[in-house]
Amino acid sequence: MSMQTASAPAAYEGFSAAAIAGEWREGRGERVGADLDPYSGETLLELKLANAADLDDAFQAAREAQRDWARRPPAARAAVMRAAADVMGARKQEVVDWLVHESGGTVAKAELEWGLVRSVLWEAASMPHHVEGRIMPSDIPGKESRVYRRPAGVVAVISPWNFPLQLSNRSVAPALAVGNAVVLKPASDTPVTGGLLLAKIFEEAGLPDGLLNVVVGSGGEIGDAIVEHPIARVLSFTGSTQVGRDIVGKAGIKKLSLELGGNGPLVVLHDADLELAVDAAVFGSFFHQGQICMSANRAIVDAAAHDEFVVRFIERVRALQPGDPSDPQTDIGPVINRSQLEAIEDKLARARDEGASQLIGGQPGGPSGLLLPPHVLLGANDVATAREEVFGPVITIVAARDEARALALANDTEYGLSSAVFTRDVERGVEFALSVDAGMTHVNDSPINDDANTAFGGEGASGIGRFGGRWAVEEFTTEHWVSVQHQRRRFPI
């Protein structure tokens, strides 16, 4: 894979080692991991995986490094964030190439992700100066009650493979910016873009050793260990609802920020701009092969607009181009791995058995056999592809007899991450949005939140906590109440 242009710095090397305890070294586990290109099936690199001892080394080093980092002035920490953003700018093509070849994302997806990461770094540069305390009133004469906000300490981050660089960095950068150290476990499918590349970027930006540890290992080997580790004061996890539920039971006494699964409804009311709704639904359903937690899993369409929506939508989807994700003309790349493909195909089969009709589909192809073409189904809200999160290039269109029924269908799910509603009456859309059980609802826009300068999170089975924006400062800090008695007082006994 080409990783360099004439004006770019020399490409990073050494990804067969991991950033652990202030040095780049191989893991001490017994297994060797193969990092595969999901489109070609080729091996990008092999690396020795870490074990629990490596993980403990990382936490110990992080705790030691964090004390000095927290004492540094805000401007010093902000400077590292700005420098990392500059590194991202200088290495854009290298980053994009890695995202295309390791995660299977199209060029458009990789460039969007690059932009999101860079924006988050710039936003993180402002966060050290937004860590504010306060003075609380006291009813005791001469007593002053101060509340200091300070770093939590060491933050553990577990990130997924779908938007690996962004979903790691959106926790890593804010956590570091406000004075924490981080131990990051990227997904096994994306060890470079999920962590090792980020460690190289921060190292080049001047981040002191030991503050960002990237431990690459299997969930079976180090998954429970990172969740349960006593040094971690905050655990930031992005992944499936099933794993999130397990984490809640194992994490112990620490703050949890969990973004879990989604089943995003995209609701089209009878007065919607159908051209806009169709464009947003195509993007919301099939961008990055639907492998986004905020994807439109279901299009719930008012009966008055249903038939015309379906005709227009099918026409747009048929024009999408599956193929090599490194080709800028490609719209649909491969799904990440064989087990993900099998899970998608299982949901499709069950949905058809439950009465859904498939309007568009096809068999997987490509060099690795992971290139699944887009699938469109018509079905009830309880068929498998509407009821469950598919996480693939699949959407189910559900008819609703009226607006009230559309709202009921949108809320008929255990998930509550992202959603969208389309109507020409904006205030009607806002009223509808406020009745949706979700952390985010977008009026006349895609359910995929591609704005790096906003915060988001879910309700119900979609998680707890908020990511990004001013919430990040709160998520990765804690408050310490210090009272000062300025005059002698009498105590009750």
Residue 240 shares a structural domain with residue 130: yes
Residue 233 shares a structural domain with residue 372: no
- pLDDT of 155-196, one tens digit each? 999 999 999 999 999 999 999 999 999 999 999 999 999 999
What confidence score (pLDDT) does residue 468 get? 62
What confidence score (pLDDT) does residue 258 get? 85
Establish if 316 belongs to a structural domain. yes
Establish if 220 belongs to a structural domain. yes
Residue 291 shares a structural domain with residue 420: yes
CATH number, domain of 391, equals 3.40.309.10
Residue 197 shares a structural domain with residue 147: yes
Rounded to a whole number of angstroms, the distance between the first and last alpha carbons of the chain is 76
293 is catalytic: yes
Establish if 338 belongs to a structural domain. yes
Which amino acid, 228? E
What confidence score (pLDDT) does residue 453 get? 56
Tell me how far the alpha carbon of residue 417 is from its chain's centroid. Answer: 12
Report residue 56 as tokens: 């403990």
Q: For the chain, give the longest Cα–Cα distance.
A: 81
CATH number, domain of 229, equals 3.40.605.10
What confidence score (pLDDT) does residue 369 get? 97
Domain extent for 427: 264-443
What confidence score (pLDDT) does residue 154 get? 98
What confidence score (pLDDT) does residue 458 get? 60
**CA gap 309, 293 in Å, rounded:** 24
Residue 158 shares a structural domain with residue 293: no
Beta carbons within 8 Å of 357's beta carbon, 6+ residues apart: 377, 378, 379
**CA gap 137, 98 in Å, rounded:** 53
Helix-helix angle 274-286:303-318, to 10 degrees: 50
Instruction: Give the angle 178-183-186 at the CA atoms, nearest 5°.
Output: 115
Query: Which of the residues 259, 388, 389, 475 is marked catalytic?
Result: 259
Query: Which of the residues 113, 221, 293, 475 is marked catalytic?
Result: 293
Q: Which residues pair with 379 in a beta bridge?
A: none
Residue 242 shares a structural domain with residue 377: no
Establish if 487 belongs to a structural domain. no
Residue with tokens 């009272």: 483
Residue 198 shares a structural domain with residue 318: no
Phi-psi region of 137 (alpha: psi -120 to 50; beta: other; left: phi over 0): beta
Residue 127 shares a structural domain with residue 253: yes
- pLDDT of 330-389, one tens digit each? 999 999 999 999 999 999 999 999 999 999 999 999 999 999 999 999 999 999 999 999
Establish if 13 belongs to a structural domain. no
Count of domains forming the chain: 2
Establish if 31 belongs to a structural domain. yes
Any alpha helices (H) in 354-492, and if so which ranges? 384-387, 403-411, 426-433, 469-475
Residue 201 shares a structural domain with residue 285: no
Residue 223 shares a structural domain with residue 306: no
Establish if 1 belongs to a structural domain. no
Q: Of 336, 414, 318, nearest to 375 (Cα)?
A: 318
**CA gap 7, 279 in Å, rounded:** 37
259 is catalytic: yes
Residue 475 shares a structural domain with residue 334: no
Residue 171 shares a structural domain with residue 70: yes
Establish if 5 belongs to a structural domain. no
Ranges of the chain whose pLDDT falls below 70: 1-7, 451-469
Contact 432/423 with Cβ under 8 angstroms? Answer: yes
